[in-house]
Amino acid sequence: MKFTCEKNAILHEISIAHEIISSRNTITILSNVLLEADNNTLIIRATDLKVGFETKIPVDVAVPGVTTVFCDKFLGILRSLPDGEVEFELLENKLFIRPLFKKIDFQLKSISSEKFPELQETQSENYFEFPQAELIEMISQTIFSISDDETRYFMNGVYLEHQEGKLVMVATDGRRLSFISKSIDTPIKEFQGIIIPPKILNLVKKLSSGEGNLSLAITDKNLFIQFDNQKISSNLIEGQFPNYNRVIPEKQDYQIIVNRGEFIEALKRVSLLVEQSSRRIYLRVEGDTMVLQSEESEIGIAKEEISCQFEGPDTSIALNYLYLTDPLKGMSDNEVSIQFTESNKAISIVPVPEKDYFHIVMPMQMD
């Protein structure tokens, strides 16, 4: 095998492959990245047996071939090289890496590609088109609500289902819930609701250009996503996702409307003096004023007032401040509505004007 390409072109793809590969792998071949050069194209593959990645880049192939090399060291070598054309040549189970314009010579031991695991595949007819920008928005509005409690593994991912012509994404950790739905115009193969691990969702969010469509395919145990020149696949989380509809309030009696930017800044300041174990802040609303307060025992108290729109009885609510800042950062509207019926029952965080997503947060005890 022998090929030449721009350093930065291959560096970008190997960086992605490195994220796929688990640093805790005890199986040597899973620490490697596969390189296959043919027809002036380089195919790069990586997997940790749960998530698979494949991409293609144009290269000048002198001798076709295939091999695998230790990804971590390969990435380190590429990062160290100056910009420009680099030649890669496989000779006697060693990959030689040489910039064409400088006397630098690396040799990296390789392992036969025969030992590299096959990546999951599915038939082309299983794929359907969906806008990249909309999927990125769905991920951004839900992924922070995933539970990190491994004993409740069925909440360690984002739930996706097809519901009356819409794709619905939901995530919850038992104390908060994030929901978003998007209409889908193309006919799709019906599927049971699935639970998607966050690793593949973070990759899509990071790699997707946000322009045009991507292709999705869902099988009983796997999710497949194709966009631009890349393919990603992932095992699904097995288990029964909670009935999220039971925790969504049918209606809320009151709403507080605040400027989102002012609210975020006030939360940032007040959170400097929260108890780190509880992360609790207090919201008190009286007419057109909201008071945010926190207290860290033996250290101090923080308090800030911001203006709001509110019609209802004076109310105090205790909340984990992260459960407010996480959804607020993902919104783009100038104003946000905090809706509630009672201070000790679920509150809703909704953009103004209302859109196709919302967040539910359970309050904390006042003391």
Model confidence pLDDT, tens digit, residues 286-297: 999 999 999 988
Which pLDDT score is estimated for 187? 83
What residue spans define the domains of the chain? 2-115, 129-246, 250-361
pLDDT value at 41 more than 90: yes
The residue-averaged pLDDT of 306-333 equals 94
Task: Tell me which CATH homologous superfamily contains domain 129-246.
Answer: DNA Polymerase III, subunit A, domain 2 (3.10.150.10)
The residues near 161 (Cβ < 8 Å, ≥ 6 apart) are: 167, 168, 191, 192, 193, 194
Buried b (16+ CB within 10 A) or exposed e, 65-98: bbbbbbbeebbebbeebeeeebebbbeeeebebb
Which pLDDT score is estimated for 277? 86
Share of the chain above pLDDT 90, in %: 84
Cα 11 to Cα 204: distance, rounded to the nearest angstrom: 18
Which pLDDT score is estimated for 366? 77
The model's pTM is: 0.91
For the domain bounded by 2-115, which CATH number is listed?
A: 3.10.150.10
CB 155 within 8 A of CB 242: yes
Which pLDDT score is estimated for 23? 64
Are both 2-115 and 250-361 of the same fold?
yes
Identity at 303, one-letter amino acid code: K
> Please, which pLDDT band fits residue 217 given cuts at 50, 70 and 90?
very high
> Please, which pLDDT band fits residue 26 given cuts at 50, 70 and 90?
low
Cα 323 to Cα 307: distance, rounded to the nearest angstrom: 21
Domain 250-361 matching CATH 3.10.150.10: the answer reads yes
pLDDT value at 215 more than 90: yes
pLDDT tens sequence across 104-155: 999 999 999 998 999 989 998 899 999 999 999 999 999 999 999 989 999 9
Q: How many other β-carbons are positioned within 10 Å of the β-carbon of residue 172?
A: 22
